[in-house]
Each structure stands twice: as C-alpha cells, then as structure tokens.
Chain A
Amino acid sequence: MKIVVCIKQVPNTDTVKIDPKTNNLVRSNVEGIINSFDRNAIEAALELRQQAGGTITLLSMGPDSYITSLRDGLAMGADSAILLSSRKFGGADTLATAYVLSEAIKKIGDVDLILFGRQSVDADTGQVGPIVAEDLQLPQVTFAESLELQDNNQLTGHRLLDNVVQEVKVKLPAVITVRSEMNSPRYETPLNIQKSFEKEITIWSENELAVDPTQIGQAGSPTVVKRIFSPEKAGRQTQMLPNNAKDAVAQLLADLNN
C-alpha cells in the first residue's frame, strides 16, 4: 500500500503573542513540532503498513524549517519525506494549501491512501483534508476514530457525528482524517532516530509541480486576514469566597439558592 501522510509543523506553545506594533503573530524563537493530530495520522499509517506492507511518504508544505518535523516523522518510522517549499507557496489559505498538496500527490502517483490529522492546532480548520479529497475526486472519511483494513483495497472507518457513530466503507484510493482517539502515537527509538538521518528529504518547488500560478500562495487564496486582535473580555464581578472550604461552600450554596 502506498500511503501519503500530510503533516504540518506548528509552534510548540500554547501562547503565541501579537506584536503590538505590526499586529502580526510573533512566532520567532518558538520551536516547531509536528501538529499533534498528525502524529496520530502517522501512527495509523505505520499500523497499516505493518498489516499490508508498502511505503509511507510524509508530505508537508512550508518553509525549510519544517524539515525538523519531517525528520521527526521519519524517526517514527516513515520511509521518505517531501517538503513543498517555495516563496510562491507562502501566504496560502486552506484552498491554496490543499491545491499544492493535491498536485504533489498526483506527482507522487498511484497513491492508495492519504492521511491527515483531524485539524491543525494553529489554523484549527480541519479543511485541508476534505479539500484535497475533492481536488483529487476521492472519497473521504473525516474525523475517523477507528480504521480497519478489510482487504487490500478497502477500509472500514468509524466516525462520531453529533449523535451517532457512522460506519463507513471506502474503496482505495481514499482520504482519511484521523482523530486522536484512534491510537497512541509511538515514541521514536534511538535506532529510528539514527536511521531517519539516512533517509532523504526531497524538496519540490512550483518548478517540479504542474501548478497553476494563480492558484498557489497568496494569489490562490480567496480569504484575507483583515485584522488580528486581542478581544476585550467583559469581566465578571468576582466575589471572593472565604478561605476555609467549609465556610466557602456554605456561603456559595446560600447565594446560589437565592
């Protein structure tokens, strides 16, 4: 089975700040890591490769610093990695990102399965997977919490919709987006880390892909960020409860009952 896992690198922090002067996000000095859900996608790929054989290629679009997380993914056990890197790809929203990823997947060729994380923790959209599925005219199982190989060209997945669990059968090739409930990503072993440095990371720019220049980067992105701001939160009138837990609870319950 030929598997591609799309991974994104995200800042390793819960608190990115706004630069008060430029109103841009300050991302420098923050170490990059693999988007956590994408580790679940890599783990799913590793388990499928164990059952069905085949290869796992990691695919990421971003600046050269993304090599860090591709290297990490290789250390988890993926076979090879491709970085889609070019100034022209910069400023892409979900539509333009997915377009470039789709074109790269076409160039890789004969891919059976494309795995994504359920969403990235920074952009937080979960859109890139379904857009790639549409661009490549493939069936999708999004937010999958389980995945079973039926035979070599069919998978059964479960996903939790609002009040129901849906069981979905797909024939390959297909697109799956993976929830963290599906598995626990394995740790990198020293041996695999060492091996990862022998694996090659291929870099493609727009020159290696058959991309339409009007559909990539900022030019290909219909959305525009108008403003980034820190919202003023209407604070609540906070009443302090007594220091002693017993008295505090007594006062709270008396207040709430009124």
Chain B
Amino acid sequence: MNNEIWVFVQLNGQNVEPTSLQLITKARDIAGDRPVVALVAETESMNVEATVKEYGPDKMVILKDDQFHNASDGEIADALDQVVTDLKPNSLLFPATVLGRSVAPRLQAKLKTGLTADCLDIYFDGDDLVQVKPTYGDDIMCEIICPDVRPQMATIRPNTFKAVKAATDTETVNYSFTFHPEANIEVVSETPVINSAANISDAKTVIALGRGANNEKVIAKAEKLAGKLGGMVGVSRPLTDNEGFSHENQIGQSGNTIAPDLLINFGISGAVQYAVGIENAKQIVSINTDAKAPIFDKSDYAFVGDADEFMSALLDQVR
C-alpha cells in the first residue's frame, strides 16, 4: 500500500476528456504530501502524455495497447485491475461520465472495495478520503468514507472543479500488462454525435426552462433567443419528458452541471437537485411568478412575473 492518489484519464477519441484534467488539479489541491498519479490507457499511436503533464501530476502510469481502440468496459476494467492490484494506490478517482460510471463499478467489484458515485467534493480526513455526494431529497448531502479497504474509489461529477495548469517534474512509467479480450462483446462502431461541440456543459449562455415555461410557444421563443445569444436551451427534469428534450438537455444533479457566463431560468422553482447544477454559473437571472420561489435565493437578478412576457421582451430588446 502506498499513499498515492490516482486519476483515471479518460480519452475521447484523440483528446483527453476534460473532467480527468479537473480531477488532477483537485487531487493536487487535497493531496498534501501524497503523490498524484495520472493513469492513462491508450493505443500505441496515441500520445496524450504531453497534455496530461501540463496539469502537473507527479507521475503518469501508462498502459499502451492498440486494442484500447473500441475496448469494452470489461476489457478496460480488466487492464486497470492488473495495474491497480499490483501498484496499490490509496485512492482512485474517475470522471462521473458514462464511461467512468460503467468501468469504475466493474473495477470496484474486482477489487471488492467501496465506490462513491457522482461526488461533488472530496477531501482527506486523516487517511480517509471523504466523498461528498448529494442524495435523495431536498438539500441533502452525504459524506461517505471507505475506512477499511483500499483503494478508496469515487466518480466525480464533470465540471465540478476547474482544471489549472501546473509545472511539475512528472515521472513517466510505462506499465506492462496483458490485454485480455472479452469474448462475448464487440464494440462495432463509434459514431461522433453530430453537434457534439454543442454540449450544454460548455455553453456560454444557457436559457433554462422549467415546468412554469413548459408550453410550445415559450419553448419556440427560447430556441430563438438562444440562437440570438449564441447559447443553448437547457431544461429542468420534468421537461425531459417532452418530445424535443432528453437527458442531454437536463441541468442538475442527475443531468449536467453547467458553468455558463449567463444563465436565465424561466419557470424553474429551484429544487436543490436543480440548483447543484448551476452553482458555477457566473450570472444568474430567474423569472418566476412566485416571489417566494427558492430559485431567487440562488440568482443575481430576479423578475417576479410571467415567463412568456419576459421572454418576449427579451426577444424584442436583444439584438
């Protein structure tokens, strides 16, 4: 056992998934004298080391094999199990992306350790990694620890922390392992999503619609306004039942964390599960007919009144 904090570096095609870099920064912030190690699994032709290094891990442990191209969750978990079982990190962090949330629990099952999902904060209390995650209900957070088993594992919500570059002497270890192909599964293809650049987590302006703005007229206006402002439309959870919206558009605990320069909330009450997703927005404007709506406490500007009226006025006055 050592006292290293490892961060799994997820790759999206040729690029590093941004949460992984955010986690390297966060790990450095809480590390004290614990070394921060980036764990990279990539194909022979890939070389993300230069990018990862810029964020200042003390060490990079690199697994290279061409079969990582289109690898299954089980294959990735098997490769990680080999190096983790051998080198025994103290803690192991994953981005709470679809991939992270699929691979980490398989690895957890192999290691017979704990895994806390979708954390919004982590810190050390002695040797315990305290993992802070939201749980059911209004304003409830849970602190979870894994006192007796190592590694301590967590997946961490994308865009919860900011990635900051840091200069360090980074040691590079090429770890040799055996890629074990999984027999009964094949990743046939990976097709880039057409407007993948337009991810709500990256949008600079977000027009968010809730149950109080859930009608076709307002939605159409919101799309128009988003177009004018170069932004995107997001929704609270109830609206993901609408034809045109899905989980990809959802803001909040079980949706996306957003960090736009400007967020305008229309007809959203401001339940905590929604509110945790918008904390990092720079300016928040909210429109709600109920002067007591909790969303107003979380806003820089409040308009007590009708969503449609305010939207129309905005459309008129924004050029």
Query: Could you list which residues of chain A lie within 8 angstroms of chain B, going by C-beta atoms?
Result: 10-11, 13-18, 25, 93-95, 98, 119, 121-131, 133-135, 138-143, 156, 159-171, 174, 179-181, 221-231, 233, 235-241, 243, 245-246, 248-250, 252-253, 255-256
Report yes or no: B285 in contact with A162, Cβ–Cβ below 8 A.
no
C-beta contact mask, B251-288 vs A, less than 8 Å → 1, else 0?
00110000000100000000101010000000111000
Neighbouring A residues of B193 by C-beta, 8 Å: 160, 163-165
Q: Does B175 contact A (CB under 8 A)?
A: no
Neighbouring A residues of B115 by C-beta, 8 Å: 94-95, 125, 127, 223
A27 to B14, CA, bound (A): 47
Most chain A CB within 10 A, of B108, B133, B148, B316, is at B108
Neighbouring B residues of A223 by C-beta, 8 Å: 114-116, 144-146
Query: In the complex where A162-B97, A170-B184 touch, is A125 in contact with B118 (Cβ < 8 A)?
Result: yes
A95 to B254, CA, bound (A): 21
A224 to B130, CA, bound (A): 10
- Residue from B144, B188, B273, B285 in contact with A168 in the complex, judged by beta carbons closer than 8 Å: B188
Report yes or no: A127 in contact with B310, Cβ–Cβ below 8 A.
no
State the Cβ distance, A245 to closest chain B Cβ, in Å: 4
Neighbouring A residues of B112 by C-beta, 8 Å: 95, 222
Report yes or no: A93 in contact with B273, Cβ–Cβ below 8 A.
no
- Residue from A142, A224, A236 in contact with B300 in the complex, judged by beta carbons closer than 8 Å: A236
A-B contact pairs, 23 of them (CB 8 A): A16-B138, A93-B114, A95-B113, A124-B118, A127-B101, A127-B104, A134-B106, A134-B109, A140-B72, A161-B12, A161-B190, A163-B12, A163-B196, A164-B191, A168-B72, A170-B186, A228-B142, A228-B143, A236-B284, A243-B304, A245-B310, A245-B313, A250-B317
Query: In the complex where A125-B117, A140-B73, A171-B185 touch, is A14 in contact with B137 (Cβ < 8 A)?
Result: yes
Query: In the complex where A223-B144, A256-B262 touch, is A236 in contact with B306 (Cβ < 8 A)?
Result: no
Report yes or no: B306 in contact with A127, Cβ–Cβ below 8 A.
no
Report yes or no: B184 in contact with A174, Cβ–Cβ below 8 A.
yes
Q: Does B318 contact A (CB under 8 A)?
A: yes
C-beta contact mask, B155-196 vs A, less than 8 Å → 1, else 0?
000000000000000000000000000111111111111001
Report yes or no: B141 in contact with A229, Cβ–Cβ below 8 A.
yes
Report yes or no: A135 in contact with B301, Cβ–Cβ below 8 A.
no
Who on chain B is nearest to A239 by CB? B301
Query: In the complex where A127-B108, A224-B145, A252-B301 touch, is A17 in contact with B12 (Cβ < 8 A)?
Result: no
C-beta contact mask, B69-103 vs A, less than 8 Å → 1, else 0?
00011100100000000000000000001110111
